Amino acid sequence: MKYILFFLMSAFACSVNGQQTEFVDFLKLEAEIKFSTDSSLVKGNYAVDFYVKTKVDTIFIDAKNITIITNPSISYTAVELKNKKLKDIDNRWDSDIEVGFEDDRIFVIYDFVENQGYKVKFDYVSNPKKALYFLKRDNDWSIWTQGQGKYTSNWLPSIDDVNEKMEFNISITYDIDYEVIANGKLIDKQINDSTITWRYDMEKPMPSYLVALAIGKYNKRVETSKSGIPLELYYYPEDSLKVESTYRYSKRMFDFLETEIGFEYPWQNYKQVPVHDFLYAGMENTSLTIFSDAFVVDSTGFNDKNYVNVNAHELAHQWFGDLVTAKSGEHHWLQEGFATYYALLAEGNIFGGDYYFFELYKSAQDLARQDLAGQGTSLLNPKSSSLTFYQRGAWVLHALREKVGADIYRQAVKNYLEKYQFSNAETNDFINEVAVLFEGNLESFVNKWIIAKEFPFDDAIMLLKQQSVFINEYIIIDCEAKTSKCTDYLKYYASDEAKIKVISQAPQLVTNNTFKSTLKVRQAIAQYVVDIPLDLKPNYESLIKDDSYLTKEYALYNLWVNFPEERSKYLNTLKEVYGFSDYNIRLLWLVLNLNTLEYQSDKNEALYNELLSYTDKKYNAELRMNAFRYLNLIKACNTECQNNLEDAKTHHNWQLVKFSKEMLEQLKANQQ
C-alpha cells in the first residue's frame, strides 16, 4: 500500500474546492454504459487517460453517488503533448494503488511521475439524483441528461472544473427498440440479442458539463450544411408532420452563423433532439442540443411559440461556450451574451432588420426596469441575473461592433476563437483581441458597458435611433397622452409593432378596417380588445379561426364573456382543438364548458374528470400546472387534485415543484 492513512494525501488534492489543472491534464475518457431503468441505475466500465505535469501522489475524479465495484488499476501511456495523442506503452495493469472517497470525489493515490501519461480504469455503479433523468413518456422511457449546473459527475465520473477539457468517447447499450444519441460521431452500432450498443467518438476535447445523451423512441431527418456538416434532426414518430415547422430555418441559420462568425463549425456533426419534461428551453451540449418538446409545434403553433430563437441560441453556443469556454462565472457573458447576440443576428437574417432592432429595444427596456428595481449588476458579477448575462451581454457586442466597425469586430472574433479554441478564456482575452485591431482605447467602453452596475440605457436608445428609422417611429407613439394622433398611426403605419403598440394603449381605436391586418396585429386585437362593440362582432368572430393558438384562446374567452347567448356556438367551433403541448385551448374550453349550462351540461362529470386527469404525473409539467391553475380558479381542486399536487412536489422540474408548494399553501390557507 502506498499510503495507510487517507489524510496523508497531497495537500492540494484534499481541498474540496481545489483545482488540479496545474498538476494534471486529463486527456480522454472512455466509458461503456448500461442502464437498469426500473431502478434508475447506471453501470459503467470506465477508463480515463491523463498526463502528470508535476510529481504528485494523488489525483482526484469527481464522482457523486457513485460506487466503484472493481479494484481500480493503472497503466502507463505515451503522450504526444502537441496533439494530445495517446498510446499504451505498458500492457501491464498495476493494482498497487489506493483509492479514497471524500467530498464526492474519488482520490487515486499512486507514485505519479512527472511528465508521464497514465490510464486508470475501473467499473462503477451510480444512482444519480440529478443530471441524468429516467422518465416515462406515453409508457415509453425517455432518458436524458442535463450537465450544466447539475454536474455530469452524478452519473459519469469526470472533472467538474470547466477549465479541464478532455475527449469523451461514450458507448451505450440499451433496448433494441430505442434510439440512443450522444456527443460526437456514431462510429459503430453493434446489434445484440435484445439490445444495441451505440459507440460515439467525440474526437475533440470539451468540459464534462457538455457530455450528453438522450434515449427515446425517435425518427430523424438529416440535412447537410453548405460546409458538409451533417445536421441530424430527431423527432417522435408520431410528429412527422411537425418536423418542418419545428426545425424551420435550421439549415439556413447554421449556414448563416458559419459565415457570420467566420470560423468553421468545430465539431463532426450537429444533432438536435426534443425530450420530455426538460428542465429548460434547451441546452447546448457539444454537437448535441437537447431541447424541450414543448417546442415541437405544427404550422399553427409556429406562429405563436416556435423553436427558432432557442435553435439559433444553442447553435451559437457550439462556438461560444463549447469551443471556447469561460474560465469562471465572472465571465459567463462570454457564453450567454455571445449566444444571444448571434442568435439575434441569425433571426434578423430571417425576419429582417426591424425585428433585430426591436428585440434590442425590448431588451434595453427590460434592463432599464431591472436597474430601476435596484437589481442591476456589473456584467462581471458571477451572481448577475440571466437578463444581465444574456441581454446585456448581447448589447455589449452590438455596441462594440458599432464602435470599432464590422470588419475589425469580425476579425477580432475570428482571432479570439482561433487563439482560445478547445480551451478557456476571460473577458480581457476577448477585449484584447479587439483592441489590437482597433488600435484605440477601449477602457471607457469597457467601464460603461461591462463593468458598471447600471446598463447604459440612454446610450443604447441613442444608438438604436441612429441605426433604425423604425425605432424612431415606434418610440414617439404615445396613445395614452396623444390619442388624436393614434388613429393615423393605426391606419398608416406599415410596422406591425407600431400597430400593436397603438392597440395595446388604445384598444377603443380598433375599427373593422384594422382587422385587415397581419396575423400578429389580429392577435393583438384578440388580446387587448376585451370589451367587444357590436359593430366589431362579425370581424372579431373571425379571429377564432385564425392560424394562431393564442389568438384562438383570447378570442374564445372574450367572445364567451361578451355574448352569453352565443356561447354554445363558440364552444362548438373549438371543441376539437387542443393548442400547444400545455393544451391551452382545450383546458380553457373545458372550464368554459363547465360554466355554460346550455351546452353539454349532461357531460359535466366527464368534462371535469378530463380536466382533473391532466394533473396526473404522466403529463408534462406545463400541462399539469395549467390544469392545476384552472382547477384552483373554479375552486374544484379535490382530494385527487391535492394528492397530485403533493406528488408534484418531488418532480425534477423546479418550476412545477415551486408551483405545487405555493398552491398547496394557498389551498391550506383558504381552508382555515
Residues 444 and 529 in one domain: no
In a domain, 346, yes or no: yes
Residues contacting 22, CB < 8 A, separation 6+: 53, 54
Distance between CA 465 and CA 654 in Å, rounded? Answer: 40
Structural domain boundaries enclosing 155 = 1-126+147-174
Domain assignment present for 302: no
Residues 455 and 599 in one domain: no
Residues 403 and 546 in one domain: no
Per-residue CA distances from 485 to 480, 490, 506 (Å): 10, 9, 11
Q: Hey, CA dihedral for 307, 313, 317, 321, is it positive or negative?
A: negative
10's CB contacts (< 8 A; 6+ apart) are 56, 57, 58
Pair 446, 567 in one domain: no
Whichever domain contains 658, its CATH number is: 1.25.40
Q: Round to whole Å and give the CA distance between 289 and 271.
A: 6
Looking at residue 135, its amino acid is L
Judgement on whether residues 43 and 152 belong to the same structural domain of the protein = yes
Who's near 271: CB < 8 A, 6+ residues apart? Answer: 181, 232, 234, 287, 288, 289
Asked if residue 83 is part of any domain, the answer here is: yes
Residues 433 and 555 in one domain: no
Other CB atoms within a 10 A radius of the CB of residue 536 amount to: 17
As given in the structure block, the three cell numbers for residue 482 are 396623444
* Same-domain pairing of 45 and 159: yes
Which residue matches cell numbers 480515463?
48
- Give me 410's grid cell: 469580425
Residue 14 identity? C
CA-wise closest residue to 313 among 362, 352, 272, 279? 272
Same domain, 564 and 660: yes
Long-range residue pairs from 654-662, CB within 8 A, at least 24 positions apart, any chain: 654/279, 655/621, 655/625, 656/621, 656/624, 656/625, 659/625, 659/628, 660/628
| Three-state DSSP class for residue 103 | coil
Q: How far apart, in whole angstroms, are the C-alpha atoms of residue 624 and residue 642?
A: 12
- The verdict on residue 300 lying in a domain is no
For residue 87, give the CATH number of its domain: 2.60.40.1730
Q: Quick one: pLDDT at residue 482? A: 65
Instruction: Tell which residue, 210, 410, 245, 235, has the closest CA to residue 324.
Output: 210
Taking the chain (672 residues) in consecutive chunks of 10 residues, what is each chunk's mean pLDDT? 36 51 94 95 96 94 94 88 71 81 92 93 95 94 95 96 97 98 98 97 97 98 98 98 98 98 98 97 98 97 97 98 97 98 98 96 98 97 97 98 98 98 98 95 97 98 96 88 77 84 94 95 98 98 98 98 97 96 97 90 92 96 98 96 96 95 94 80
Q: What is the CATH number of the domain that holds 416?
A: 1.10.390.10
> Do 528 and 660 belong together in one domain?
yes
What pLDDT does 43 receive? Answer: 97
Q: Are residues 453 and 565 in the same domain?
A: no
In-domain check, residue 99? yes
pLDDT of residue 667: 95
Site of grid cell 437578463: 387
Give the three-state DSSP class for 172: strand
Contact criterion met (CB below 8 Å) for 162 and 424: yes
Provide DSSP, 628-671.
HHHHHHTT---HHHHHHHHHHTT-S-HHHHHHHHHHHHHHHHHH
123 forms beta bridges with 45
Q: Is residue 267 part of a domain?
A: no
Tell me, yes or no, if the pTM score tops 0.85: yes
Q: Which residues contact 666 (CB under 8 A, 6 or more apart)?
A: 632
Q: Is residue 482 part of a domain?
A: no
* Percent helix, strand and coil across the chain, each to the nearest 5: 45, 20, 30
- 46 and 157 in a common domain: yes
Query: Residues with Cβ < 8 Å from 18, sequence gap 6 or more?
Result: 12
| Residue 52 is assigned to a structural domain of this protein | yes
| CA 348 to chain CA mean position, Å | 20
Quick one: 449 and 556 in the same domain?
no
Q: How many domains does the chain fold into?
A: 3
